[in-house]
């Protein structure tokens, strides 16, 4: 097939897939699902088949697809004759300030830096922590301000964020990475005590680990990290790119665990599908990211900020924090009822609508079996089925998922192995 001279929707899906195979770096092992549209918790493929979306674009589509408020915000913007898609961060525009103020209220931290992704938000947090430690701890040039991170964590793919990601297979090909990172097991509070010291600039943790297997960190551990940071004059960074902004039933999963972080990173659901990341921090930390110290060309552009304001409207006015909590409980209870001694389910864990089902077999075989039956779900590692459905999922949709999942489990039992 020759490459068409004009790209766009006029290209057949077969052709689009073929072009991907030939021209994209093969970074993703893609599922052969061709998505062309969605509404609510439903996705549509190019043949018109409907799927129940239990993955929400990896926690991005918290409002599902084509949410009326998001569609209205897009329409309103697109209808403006003098629509401003970019103004650069050298100038003011009408949407960054209001968005920053509302995020500040919800997260309880008053300063915001906008960027485009989770990795960039983490990168900004780590840079801030290092610059601050260098300054307030009077470190000499050859002394490294240290970061303490957790085994099993995921903080992103850029160099500093990757250096703090507690999964060797992600880091190994790119060594040497940023020095001065120590890893501690999330179930080893004594290890944490040993790791945090006077050279520590920050402890970074996901209150609920996502990519590493949907693993909630014990609130005691999070609070211990807070206390150790206070003693060592270090910052507590909560990476809430996946678990924040309502996913666990709270604006901040770290606060929900009973600890007030110094820095919080946000991204995935923030602009309802457009790229937008944010670092939030205490007011006193403002001087550590002074003029010229850090920046982003696209970060906090007018359109992503408008959509983020609409996302916050929806979460606030449609009671979606409570919804994530109660719908999460319904899903979790239903899943736990399917876990039997010696059955295919080893454990069900998570918080709110962030749920991992640890299987005895391969999670990818489960997602394949679910997809055949019209359900999109994800994996986190070899054996964890990952569920991150939109907050707008209905009770009926949860029950339908549970029915289909039960039938796949029953088939697994009969076959004595893979579904």
The answer to whether the beta carbons of residues 261 and 223 sit under 8 Å apart is: no
| 215 vs 226 by CB, closer to ligand PLP | 215
Identify the residue whose tokens are 């893979």: 418
DSSP, collapsed to helix, strand or coil, labels residue 277 as strand
Residue 165 in contact with ligand PLP, rule: CB under 6 A: no
Question: For ligand PLP, which residue of 70, 99, 112, 122 counts as binding (CB under 6 A)?
Answer: 122
Question: Which contiguous run of DSSP H or E holds residue 114?
Answer: strand 111-115
Site for ligand PLP in 265-324 (CB under 6 A): 267-268
DSSP, collapsed to helix, strand or coil, labels residue 415 as helix
Establish how many alpha carbons lie within 13 A of residue 324's alpha carbon, considering only the half-sphere containing its beta carbon.
31
Residue 242 in contact with ligand PLP, rule: CB under 6 A: yes
Of 268, 223, 250, 306, give the one whose Cα is nearest residue 106: 250
Question: For ligand PLP, which residue of 96, 119, 288, 379 counts as binding (CB under 6 A)?
Answer: 119
| 34 vs 157 by CB, closer to ligand PLP | 157
DSSP state letters, 366-413: HHHHHHHTTEE-EESSSSEEEE---TT--HHHHHHHHHHHHHHHHHHH
In the complex, what is the shortest distance from the CB of residue 3 to ligand PLP, in angstroms, rounded to a whole number? 29
| 242 vs 252 by CB, closer to ligand PLP | 242
| 116 vs 367 by CB, closer to ligand PLP | 116
Residue 123 in contact with ligand PLP, rule: CB under 6 A: no
DSSP, collapsed to helix, strand or coil, labels residue 353 as coil
Residue 29 phi/psi, 5° resolution?
A: -85, 95
In the complex, what is the shortest distance from the CB of residue 331 to ligand PLP, in angstroms, rounded to a whole number? 20
Of 28, 47, 29, give the one whose Cα is nearest residue 37: 47
Q: Which stretch binds ligand PLP (CB under 6 A): 151-159, 315-323, 361-369, 407-415?
A: 151-159
Residue 132 in contact with ligand PLP, rule: CB under 6 A: no
| 239 vs 397 by CB, closer to ligand PLP | 239
Site for ligand PLP in 58-117 (CB under 6 A): 117
Nearest residue by C-beta to ligand PLP?
118
Question: For ligand PLP, which residue of 64, 186, 210, 301 counts as binding (CB under 6 A)?
Answer: 210
Q: Are strands 378-379 and 384-387 parallel, antiparallel or unpaired?
A: antiparallel
The answer to whether the beta carbons of residues 386 and 214 sit under 8 Å apart is: yes
Question: For ligand PLP, which residue of 65, 106, 130, 155 counts as binding (CB under 6 A)?
Answer: 155
Question: Which contiguous run of DSSP H or E holds residue 178?
Answer: none
Distances (CA, A) of 53 to 28, 112, 216, 392: 19, 32, 23, 11
Q: Which stretch binds ligand PLP (CB under 6 A): 43-51, 154-162, 308-316, 349-357?
A: 154-162
Residue 118 in contact with ligand PLP, rule: CB under 6 A: yes
β strands within 258-365, DSSP E: 263-266, 277-281, 345-351, 354-359
In the complex, what is the shortest distance from the CB of residue 268 to ligand PLP, in angstroms, rounded to a whole number? 6
Q: Which two tokens stand for residue 70?
A: 């998001």
Residue 239 in contact with ligand PLP, rule: CB under 6 A: yes
Residue 262 in contact with ligand PLP, rule: CB under 6 A: no
| 61 vs 242 by CB, closer to ligand PLP | 242
Site for ligand PLP in 18-57 (CB under 6 A): none
| 154 vs 405 by CB, closer to ligand PLP | 154
Question: For ligand PLP, which residue of 38, 57, 156, 273 counts as binding (CB under 6 A)?
Answer: 156
Per rule CB under 6 A, count of chain residues that contact ligand PLP = 15
Q: Which stretch binds ligand PLP (CB under 6 A): 7-15, 101-109, 153-161, 403-411?
A: 153-161
Of 62, 50, 57, 38, give the one whose Cα is nearest residue 390: 62
Establish how many alpha carbons lie within 13 A of residue 52's alpha carbon, considering only the half-sphere containing its beta carbon.
23
In the complex, what is the shortest distance from the CB of residue 414 to ligand PLP, in angstroms, rounded to a whole number? 36
DSSP, collapsed to helix, strand or coil, labels residue 58 as helix
Q: Where are the alpha helices (DSSP H) in 214-319?
A: 219-232, 253-256, 302-317
Residue 212 in contact with ligand PLP, rule: CB under 6 A: no
| 271 vs 393 by CB, closer to ligand PLP | 271
Residue 352 in contact with ligand PLP, rule: CB under 6 A: no
Residue 154 in contact with ligand PLP, rule: CB under 6 A: yes
> What is the contact surface with ligand PLP in residues (CB under 6 A)?
117-119, 122, 154-156, 206, 210-211, 239, 241-242, 267-268
């Amino acid at each position: 097939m020759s490459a068409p001279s004009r790209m766009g929707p006029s290209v057949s899906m077969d052709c689009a897939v073929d072009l991907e195979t030939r021209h994209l770096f093969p970074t993703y092992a893609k599922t052969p699902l061709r998505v062309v549209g969605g509404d609510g918790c439903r996705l549509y493929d190019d043949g018109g088949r409907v799927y129940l979306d239990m993955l929400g674009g990896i926690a991005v589509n918290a409002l599902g697809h084509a949410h009326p408020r998001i569609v209205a915000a897009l329409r309103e913007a697109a209808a403006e004759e003098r629509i401003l898609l970019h103004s650069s961060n050298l100038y003011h525009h009408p949407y960054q300030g209001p968005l920053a103020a509302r995020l500040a209220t919800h997260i309880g931290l008053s300063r915001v830096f906008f960027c485009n992704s989770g990795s960039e938000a983490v990168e900004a947090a780590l840079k801030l922590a290092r610059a601050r430690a260098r300054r307030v701890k009077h470190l000499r040039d050859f002394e490294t301000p240290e970061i303490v991170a957790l085994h099993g964590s995921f903080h992103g793919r850029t160099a500093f964020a990757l250096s703090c990601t507690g999964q060797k297979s992600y880091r190994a090909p790119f060594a040497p990475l940023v020095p001065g990172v120590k890893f501690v097991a999330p179930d080893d509070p004594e290890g944490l005590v040993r790791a945090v010291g006077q050279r520590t600039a920050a402890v970074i943790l996901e209150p609920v680990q996502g990519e590493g297997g949907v693993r909630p960190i014990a609130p005691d551990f999070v609070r211990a990290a807070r206390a150790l940071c206070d003693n060592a004059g270090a910052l507590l960074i909560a990476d809430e790119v996946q678990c924040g902004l309502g996913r666990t039933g709270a604006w901040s999963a770290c606060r929900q665990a009973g600890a007030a972080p110094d820095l919080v990173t946000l991204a995935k659901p923030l602009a309802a599908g457009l790229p937008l990341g944010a670092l939030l921090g205490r007011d006193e930390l403002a001087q550590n990211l002074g003029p010229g110290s850090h920046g982003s060309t696209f970060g906090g552009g007018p359109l992503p900020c408008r959509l983020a304001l609409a996302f916050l409207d929806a979460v606030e006015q449609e009671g979606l924090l409570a919804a994530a909590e109660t719908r999460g409980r319904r899903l979790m209870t239903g899943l736990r009822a399917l876990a039997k001694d010696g059955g295919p389910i080893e454990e069900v864990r998570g918080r709110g609508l962030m749920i991992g089902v640890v299987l005895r077999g391969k999670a990818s075989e489960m997602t394949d079996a679910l997809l055949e039956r019209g359900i999109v779900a994800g994996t986190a590692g070899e054996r964890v089925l990952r569920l991150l459905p939109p907050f707008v999922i209905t009770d009926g949709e949860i029950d339908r998922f549970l029915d289909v999942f039960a039938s796949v489990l029953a088939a697994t039992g009969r076959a004595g192995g893979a579904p």
